[in-house]
């Protein structure tokens, strides 16, 4: 019998080969290597489906395949972990990557871009890195691929390197996420030092050992005499640093809007399936560890909720299509973090899934609009595109409804579950409740900016020449849009938990069962195990209002749906008119604050300058003291060397003399210490 | 069980070298018209490789190993074949093979190259005899047997003043050193009444008031060893001989001849003058080697820093490496379990050194063959014309400096770790500081070759000459240096096993 798991490495390697092919031979290939990329990602997608089907059949895989450094304390390995979570993620990533490759034919090739081999090589490596990250069975391997993902984002965001914006944005993305990764790296070392292993799953994995350490049955190393709880919290927060950077959570979110300088299909890949998803996936992957540290969870939830609201408000005033989407991504990943913090591993994964589809859809839709508008992204120059590009319009609308969280589109189900989970657990925890309130407030804002975008782009009268006569798009744009549009509508039905609870229809919570190892999985990596951990170690308990779980459910769902509809209605009132005008003046002083993104960039620049001052001091120290010493040593070395050289006079009789003298000295030293002459 | 070879067959590596040398001499004498540079080079290379093949076979088969009946003694205990002897013979044979192949191109227009090949083979025979010597008499005879052809080899370019002068200086310093060495042997004999190493050790344990005589003898023997290994203060011949000699000869002397000095030192000082017995007798030769190690590596490296001439820089670097290898003797302590690891590491370092240092000198030989000059400036921009050879040279330089991921890093790492484990942190620290200094002058070569532009555009036109055999030797040495990285595990294990048999 052919084993699907034997082909898991191929899932990662296929896009890697397409990277090599595009890099090495791209310029000799038709379409700059695009077909190689499409074939590779299609192959990976099919293999991922097969792997997912195998997992559905009840089998999992958790093996080390290569030990590249071994020691007494621990081993550094590469391995594969295929469980329901990673199998699901494989399917998402490969599907989005495949569609992005197809879409790129329309966005890059048809638009006559240059440097296509470089582009497709980047896409291939990006996909391969993310897939390697997804299948990693230990934190170190995950970190390495995490860094590769960061590198690829740098390469792709800076694709148009001759313009001033993209290289700068690429550097910013790289540096800001690296800032988070430093914490991740320290956390990684801490995990090794504490547990001697960085495996994600299995009885010898670090989440399992952490649990035993809290039980007292495993003796974990801690520094400075810290208690294990405090130390685990610190380790959790350190690793979280990487996730905050990559998933663009406050305060490391500033790179993401700038990253819009990259080609739009790359944005779709970054936002939906690869880079930004990596952070949330990392937390979900090691959720068994986070479930043990309530402080970390509360911080995750609060940061997530805050980011959700904060980013949504900034999205309200943006004029460029992709900018709105960028802020919405930050906001939506905030929701996922909120879900993780609230202990709902399933809700976070669910939103990751639905968001991957609708956000990829929205970005590709935006890409289609940008093609049509000859690369003008300003929404105030658009309008009336609805009739000119119906496929794009309808799919974009489906994605927008999902993003806004309107029933029954996919985003509604996942967002509702997040808010519900945050609410019931928040009733006993004020920090969580704070996260929930911010998450809830973000709902109408999200709906508002989403539909402001839709109305400004597609409705009303065309406001420019290009909008009156847009560029046509071909099948390679419409195809991916159609696929994703359908998924954005239906993806929510995989986990209709509220309906199950209210109507008592069993078996419509497929995703929950899937992640709860109902079809088979690895012990210790399941939703119910995490719930046990949360209840035991984090003291999480589900509260309810009015003494009834059903009432709680209806109130929570009704509240979020009502607020979403309210947001849509306001946007409709203000912007669905033939000649919409800017209403930002009504915001008064808040307008400038929002336009300038709460002066976040300014704060970071200020911080960077202060860091530079410190660095300047260090530099003076380095130049003056350290280099001074080094230069001193080297000039002393040279001077001494010069003296030493002069010993070599070239006269043999002097050599014989010095040789004998040296021997006599040696005899004297040994003779005196050994007492030969007594 | 296969039939056991006769015991004298354990000398096959040395005998092969000797017979190859004799055969070359014979052909050269009887039918001078039949000799050709190529056939001579091929014959000697085959001889050296056969010798290498024997040693590798014996090491793998466990000849002289404790598991297969222990060391093989021959000729009334005057000869002792054990793993260490085979290990060092492998170094000599490898270096010899590289050198004779390279010499084929280097001496392409020499009138009588045959003498060169036979001299190299005889010197190698002497070295392999040194590795198996178990009596001080044999040690002296073998030392002279290795040295006398070396003097002639240094002066091989008879019409070159530098070569002749270097040969003479080498000979004079060598004569003084040999006198000191043989005087030391006679004093040791006077104090202990034996020349067989094992019996000398017993004598050292019961000196009966002859400590001063024995001590004087031992220090004088240290002098002889220091001459052969080019350690301070017996190093004076080295920079001049290495610089003046034909570059393949420099490679041979600085790698094989140095290793020969170390094999004698390792064997004689551990077997004839055991650390514990010597210490309790009041003869702290470990301290003497400690002083020599520090002075040698410091002087070698500091002098190398200021050399404008690459070959001379390599000569001083070779002195510095003798200092590192001396740690193998300087970091011993009585009865310590770590003795065999530090000495084994020194042996492994000498093996790695055999490849990287020979390769570096052969690159210089190639530069001389091209006629590009000898200074760092003359090497500027070479990489553009000869990328493969320059990459190989960069590998040698970084490996000599002890940078990962090259074999030189691992051997030095094990050496310093062995010293630290044995309680000689200061030695390791001084070694590490010296390694940092050495990085300066090694990287200068790489910088010149890869980053600098040639002084004149036509400076490198002489590179049109393609010395195939030299190229092959350099590349092979580079491959050896790189392959010793994955192969370092077996090497260090063999070396440590060889060393542990000595304690």
Residue A516 CB neighbours (<10 A):
19
Helix, strand or coil, per DSSP, at residue A378: strand
Is the Cβ–Cβ distance between B499 and B84 less than 8 Å?
Answer: yes
Nearest residue, CB atoms, B303 vs list A645, A652, A673 = A645
Is A676 in contact with B304 (Cβ distance < 8 A)? no
Q: Which pLDDT score is estimated for B35? A: 64
Q: Give chain A's end-to-end CA distance (angstroms, integer).
A: 87
Residue of B nearest to A674 (CA): B282
A589 band by pLDDT with thresholds 50, 70 and 90 = low
3-state helix, strand, coil in chain A (%, to 5): 75, 5, 20
Cα(A604)–Cα(A586) distance, integer angstroms: 28
Q: How confident is the model at residue A546 (pLDDT cuts 50, 70, 90)?
A: low
Q: Which of A223-227, A286-290, B75-79, B240-244 has the lowest mean pLDDT?
A: A223-227
Distance from CA of B88 to the nearest CA of A (A): 28
Mark yes or no for CB contact B215/A674 under 8 Å.
yes
Question: Which of A634, A661, A674 is closest, CB to CB, to B283?
Answer: A674
Do B128 and B89 touch, CB atoms closer than 8 A? yes
Q: Is the pLDDT of residue B1 over 60?
A: no
pLDDT at B413 exceeding the cut of 70: yes
Nearest to A379, CA basis, from A394, A391, A396, A395: A396
Give the pLDDT mean for A284-298: 86
List the 611-670 stretch of A: residues with Cβ below 8 A of B: 634, 637-638, 640-642, 644-645, 648, 650, 652, 655-656, 658-663, 666-667, 669-670
Question: What phi, psi does A78 have (nearest 5°)?
Answer: -110, 140
Whole-number pLDDT of residue A626: 74
pLDDT of res. A195: 83
Indicate the pLDDT class of residue B389, thresholds 50, 70 and 90.
confident
| Residue B2 predicted with pLDDT over 70 | no
How many angstroms separate the CA atoms of A59 and A53, rounded? 9
Tell me whether residue A112 is exposed, middle or buried, using C-beta atoms within 10 angstroms of its C-beta: 0 to 12, 13 to 18, 19 or more: exposed
Contact (Cβ atoms closer than 8 angstroms) between residue B262 and residue B346 = yes
Rounded Cα–Cα distance for residues B366 and B375 (Å): 14
Q: How confident is the model at residue A586 (pLDDT cuts 50, 70, 90)?
A: low
Cβ atoms within 10 A of the Cβ of A638, count? Answer: 14
Are the C-beta atoms of residues A192 and A258 closer than 8 Å to each other? no
Q: Is the ipTM of this complex over 0.95?
A: no
Best residue of B180, B209, B236 to probe chain A, by most A CBs closer than 10 Å = B236
Mean pLDDT of chain A: 82
Residue B223's alpha-carbon distances to A621, A657, B156, B230, in angstroms, are 47, 14, 27, 10
Q: How far apart are CA B180 and CA B174, in angstroms?
A: 10
Q: What is the chain B residue with the closest CA to A646?
A: B303
**Packing angle, helices A116-135 and A275-285, rounded to 10:** 10
Q: Can you give the pLDDT at residue A595?
A: 67
- Give the pLDDT of residue B121: 92
Q: Give B7→chain A minimum CA distance, Å.
A: 40
The mean pLDDT of A67-80, rounded to a whole number, is 76
Q: Tell me how close the Cα of A476 comes to any Cα of chain B, in angstroms.
A: 47
For residue A610, CA distances in Å to A179, A335, B90 come to 16, 32, 61
Task: Give the start-end residues of each E strand in B296-425.
Answer: none
Mean pLDDT for A317-341 is 85
Q: Has residue B24 got a pLDDT over 70?
A: yes
Q: Name the residue in chain A with its Cα closest to that of B441.
A: A638
pLDDT band at A504 (very low <50, low <70, confident <90, very high): confident
Which residue in this structure is represented by tokens 């979403």? A564
Q: Per-residue DSSP letters for A217-254? A: SS----GGG--HHHHHHHHHHHHHHHHHHHTT-TTS-T
* % helix, strand, coil for chain B, step of 5: 75, 0, 20
Query: How far apart are the CA of B74 and the nearest CA of chain A, in angstroms?
Result: 34
**Structure tokens given for A374:** 């000859």
Residue whose pair of structure tokens reads 């000797």 in the numeric block: B18
- CB pair distance less than 8 Å for B233 and A644: no
Per the structure, the count of domains in chain B is 1
Indicate whether B73 belongs to any domain: no
Evaluate the CA torsion angle B489, B490, B493, B498 in order and state its sign: negative
Q: Best interface-test mutation with B: which of A637, A666, A671, A673 has the largest number of B CBs within 10 A?
A: A666
A509 pLDDT exceeds 90? Answer: no
Q: Which two tokens stand for residue A578?
A: 């033939």
Q: Is B306 on the interface with A (CB under 8 A)?
A: yes
Which residue does chain B place closest to A677, by CA atoms?
B212
- Domain contains B65: no
CB spacing of B233 vs A658 below 8 angstroms: yes
Mutate to test the interface with A, among B302, B326, B436 (most CBs of A within 10 A): B302
Q: How many CA atoms lie within 13 A of A676 on its CB side?
A: 23
Q: Are A336 and A421 in contact (CB under 8 A)?
A: no
Residue B171 to residue B150: CA distance in whole angstroms: 9
Which chain B residue has the Cα nearest residue A658? B233
Residue A670 has pLDDT above 50, yes or no: yes
Q: Please, which pLDDT band fits residue B140 given cuts at 50, 70 and 90? A: very high
- Percent with pLDDT over 90 in chain A: 0
Distance from CA of A635 to the nearest CA of B (A): 11
Residue A1 reports pLDDT greater than 60: no
Cβ within 8 Å, pair B212-A637: no
Instruction: Catalogue the E-assigned strands of A61-157.
Output: 61-70, 75-82
Q: Confidence class of residue B286 from pLDDT cuts 50, 70 and 90? A: confident
Q: What is the pLDDT of residue B461?
A: 67
Answer whether residue B64 is part of any domain.
no
Residue B340 belongs to a domain = yes
- pLDDT bucket at B457, cuts 50 / 70 / 90: low
What does residue A588 show for φ and ψ, rounded to 5 degrees? 65, -135
Going by the DSSP 8-state scheme, the letter that residue B375 receives in this structure is B
CA distance B249 to B117: 11
> Residue B447 is encoded by which pair of tokens?
């910088």
Q: Could you tell me if A61 and A5 are in contact, meaning their C-beta atoms sit under 8 angstroms apart?
A: yes
Do β-strands A61-70 and B72-74 pair in parallel, antiparallel, or remain unpaired?
Answer: unpaired
**Cis bond upstream, residue A408 (ω within 30):** yes
Give the residue on A whose Cα is nearest the Cα of B287. A670
**Residue A350 pLDDT greater than 80, yes or no:** yes
Quote the CA–CA distance of A223 and A231 in Å, as a whole number. Answer: 8
Contacts of B303 in chain A (CB under 8 A): 641, 644-645, 648
3-state secondary structure A310-353: HHHHHHCCCCEHHHHHHHHHHHHHHHHHHHHHCCCHHHHHHHHH
Q: Name the nearest CA neighbour of B101 among B90, B113, B112.
A: B113
Contact B303 A648 (CB under 8 A): yes
B306 part of a folded domain: yes
CA distances from A614 to A606, A609, A610, A611, A617 (A): 13, 9, 6, 5, 5
Q: Which residues form the domain of B367?
A: 284-503
- Residue entry with tokens 């290498």: B52
CA nearest neighbour of B204 among B335, A678, B193: B193
Structure-block tokens of residue A34: 């695009």
The total number of residues written for chain B in this structure: 503
The answer, yes or no, to whether residue A646 has pLDDT greater than 80, is no
The model's confidence at residue B96, banded by pLDDT at 50, 70 and 90, is very high
- Look at residue B210 and tell me if it is in a domain: no
Q: Pairing between strand A61-70 and A75-82?
A: antiparallel
Name which of B216, B288, B303 is nearest A644 (Cβ-Cβ): B303
**What is the token pair recorded at B289?**
């080697």
Asked if the structure places residue B147 within a domain, the reply is no
When pLDDT is averaged across residues A256-261 and rounded to a whole number, the result is 81
What is the spatial distance between Cα B452 and Cα A33, in angstroms, rounded to a whole number? Answer: 38
**Res A2: pLDDT:** 66
- C-alpha dihedral sign at B354, B360, B361, B365: positive
Pure H helices in A545-626: 549-575, 589-595, 600-621
pLDDT at B178: 92
Residue where the block lists tokens 């309810």: A544
Query: To 10 degrees, the CA torsion angle through A301, A305, A306, A308?
Result: 140
Main-chain phi, psi angles of B81, to 5 degrees: -100, 115
B439: closest chain A residue by CA: A634
At A136-173, the pLDDT tens digits run 888 888 898 888 888 888 888 888 888 888 888 888 88
Strands B72-74 vs B79-81: parallel, antiparallel or unpaired = antiparallel
With contacts defined as CB-CB under 8 Å, which chain B residues touch A629?
Answer: none
In a domain, B198, yes or no: no
Taking CA atoms, what residue in B is nearest to A650? B240
For residue B284, what is the DSSP state? -
Q: Evaluate if residue B238 carries a pLDDT over 60.
A: yes
Average pLDDT over residues A35-63: 86
């Amino acid at each position: 019998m052919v084993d699907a798991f034997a082909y898991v490495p191929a899932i990662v390697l296929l896009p890697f080969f397409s990277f090599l092919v595009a890099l090495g031979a791209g310029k000799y290939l038709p379409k700059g290597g695009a077909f190689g990329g499409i074939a590779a990602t299609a192959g990976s997608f099919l293999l991922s489906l097969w792997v997912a089907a195998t997992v559905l059949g009840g089998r999992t895989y958790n093996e080390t395949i290569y030990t590249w450094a071994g020691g007494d304390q621990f081993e550094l390995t590469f391995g594969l972990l295929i469980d329901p979570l990673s199998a699901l993620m494989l399917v998402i990533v490969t599907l989005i990557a495949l569609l992005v490759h197809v879409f790129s034919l329309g966005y890059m090739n048809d638009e006559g871009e240059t440097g296509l081999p470089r582009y497709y090589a980047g896409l291939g490596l990006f996909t391969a890195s993310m897939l390697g990250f997804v299948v990693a069975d230990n934190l170190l391997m995950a970190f390495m691929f995490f860094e590769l993902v960061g590198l690829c984002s740098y390469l792709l965001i800076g694709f148009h390197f001759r313009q001033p914006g993209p290289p700068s944005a690429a550097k910013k993305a790289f540096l800001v996420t690296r800032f988070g990764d430093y914490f991740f790296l320290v956390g990684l070392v801490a995990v090794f030092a504490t547990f001697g292993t960085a495996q994600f799953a299995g009885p010898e994995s670090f989440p399992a050992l952490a649990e035993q350490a809290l039980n007292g049955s495993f003796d974990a190393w801690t520094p400075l005499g810290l208690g294990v709880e405090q130390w685990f919290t610190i380790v959790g927060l350190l690793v979280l640093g990487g996730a905050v950077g990559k998933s663009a959570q406050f305060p490391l979110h500033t790179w993401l809007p700038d990253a819009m300088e990259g080609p739009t299909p790359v944005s779709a890949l970054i936002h939906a399936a690869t880079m930004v998803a990596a952070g949330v996936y990392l937390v979900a992957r090691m959720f068994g560890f986070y479930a043990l540290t309530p402080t970390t969870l509360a911080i995750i939830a609060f940061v997530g909720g805050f980011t959700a609201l904060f980013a949504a408000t900034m999205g309200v005033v943006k004029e460029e299509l992709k900018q709105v989407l960028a802020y919405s991504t930050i906001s939506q990943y905030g929701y996922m973090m909120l879900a993780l913090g609230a202990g709902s591993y399933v809700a976070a994964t669910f939103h990751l899934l639905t968001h991957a589809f609708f956000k990829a859809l929205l970005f590709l839709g935006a890409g289609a609009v940008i093609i049509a508008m000859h690369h003008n992204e300003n929404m105030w120059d658009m309008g009336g595109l609805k009739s000119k590009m119906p496929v794009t319009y309808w799919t974009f609308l489906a994605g927008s409804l999902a993003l806004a969280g309107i029933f029954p589109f996919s985003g509604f189900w996942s967002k509702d579950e997040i808010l519900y989970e945050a609410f019931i657990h928040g009733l006993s925890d004020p920090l969580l409740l704070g996260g929930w309130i911010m998450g809830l407030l973000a709902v109408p804002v999200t709906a508002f900016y989403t539909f402001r975008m839709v109305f400004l782009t597609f409705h009303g009268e065309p406001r420019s020449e290009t909008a009156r006569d847009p560029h046509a798009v071909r099948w390679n744009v419409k195809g991916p849009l159609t696929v994703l549009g359908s998924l954005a509508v239906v993806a929510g039905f995989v986990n209709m938990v509220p309906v199950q609870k209210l109507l008592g229809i069993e078996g419509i919570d497929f995703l929950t069962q899937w992640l709860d190892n109902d079809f088979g999985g690895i012990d210790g990596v399941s939703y119910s195990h995490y719930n046990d951990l949360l209840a035991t170690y984090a003291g999480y308990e589900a509260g309810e209002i009015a003494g009834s779980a059903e009432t709680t459910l209806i109130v929570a769902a009704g509240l979020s749906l009502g607020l979403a509809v309210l947001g849509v209605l306001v946007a409709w009132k203000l912007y669905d008119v033939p000649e919409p005008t800017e209403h930002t003046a009504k915001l008064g002083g808040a307008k400038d604050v929002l336009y300038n993104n709460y002066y976040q960039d300014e704060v970071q620049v200020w911080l960077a300058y202060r860091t530079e001052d410190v660095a300047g001091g260090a530099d003076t120290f380095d130049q003056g003291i350290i280099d001074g010493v080094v230069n001193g040593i080297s000039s002393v070395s040279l001077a001494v060397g010069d003296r030493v050289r002069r010993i070599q006079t070239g006269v043999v009789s002097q050599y014989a003399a010095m040789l004998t003298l040296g021997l006599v000295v040696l005899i004297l030293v040994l003779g005196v210490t050994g007492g030969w002459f007594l | 069980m296969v039939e056991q070879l006769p015991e004298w067959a354990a000398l096959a590596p040395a005998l092969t070298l000797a017979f190859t040398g004799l055969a070359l001499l014979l052909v050269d004498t009887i039918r001078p018209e039949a000799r050709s540079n190529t056939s001579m080079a091929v014959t000697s290379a085959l001889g050296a490789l056969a010798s290498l093949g024997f040693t590798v076979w014996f090491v793998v088969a466990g000849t002289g190993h404790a598991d297969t009946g222990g060391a093989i003694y021959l000729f009334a205990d005057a000869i002792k074949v054990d793993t260490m002897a085979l290990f060092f013979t492998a170094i000599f044979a490898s270096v010899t093979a590289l050198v004779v192949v390279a010499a084929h191109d280097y001496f392409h227009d020499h009138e009588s190259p045959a003498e060169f090949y036979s001299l190299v083979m005889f010197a190698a025979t002497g070295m392999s005899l040194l590795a198996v010597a178990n009596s001080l008499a044999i040690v002296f005879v073998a030392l002279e047997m290795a040295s006398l052809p070396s003097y002639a080899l240094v002066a091989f370019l008879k019409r070159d003043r530098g070569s002749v002068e270097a040969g003479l200086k080498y000979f004079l310093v060598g004569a003084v050193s040999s006198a000191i060495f043989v005087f030391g042997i006679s004093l040791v004999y006077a104090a202990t009444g034996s020349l067989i190493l094992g019996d000398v050790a017993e004598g050292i344990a019961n000196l009966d008031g002859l400590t001063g005589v024995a001590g004087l003898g031992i220090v004088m023997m240290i002098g002889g060893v220091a001459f052969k290994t080019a350690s301070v203060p017996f190093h004076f011949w080295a920079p001049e001989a290495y610089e003046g000699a034909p570059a393949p000869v420099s490679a041979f002397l600085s790698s094989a001849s140095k290793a020969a000095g170390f094999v004698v030192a390792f064997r004689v000082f551990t077997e004839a003058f055991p650390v514990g017995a010597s210490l309790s007798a009041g003869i702290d030769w470990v301290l003497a080697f400690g002083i020599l190690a520090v002075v040698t590596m410091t002087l070698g490296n500091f002098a190398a820093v200021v050399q404008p001439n690459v070959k001379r820089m390599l000569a001083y670097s070779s002195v510095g490496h003798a200092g590192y290898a001396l740690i193998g003797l300087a970091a011993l302590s009585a009865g310590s379990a770590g003795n065999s690891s530090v000495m084994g590491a020194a042996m492994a370092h000498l093996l790695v050194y055999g490849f990287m240092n020979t390769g570096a000198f052969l690159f210089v030989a190639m530069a001389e063959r091209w006629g590009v000059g000898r200074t760092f400036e003359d090497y500027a921009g070479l990489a553009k014309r000869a990328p493969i050879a320059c990459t190989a040279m960069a590998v040698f330089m970084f490996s000599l400096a002890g940078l990962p991921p090259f074999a030189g890093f691992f051997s030095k790492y094990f050496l310093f770790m062995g010293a630290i484990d044995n309680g000689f942190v200061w030695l390791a620290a001084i070694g590490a500081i010296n390694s940092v200094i050495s990085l300066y002058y090694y990287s200068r070569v790489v910088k010149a070759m890869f980053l600098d532009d040639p002084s004149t555009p036509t400076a490198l036109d002489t590179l049109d000459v393609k010395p195939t055999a030299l190229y092959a030797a350099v590349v092979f040495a580079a491959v050896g240096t790189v392959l010793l990285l994955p192969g370092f595990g077996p090497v260090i294990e063999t070396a440590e096993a060889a060393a542990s048999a000595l304690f």
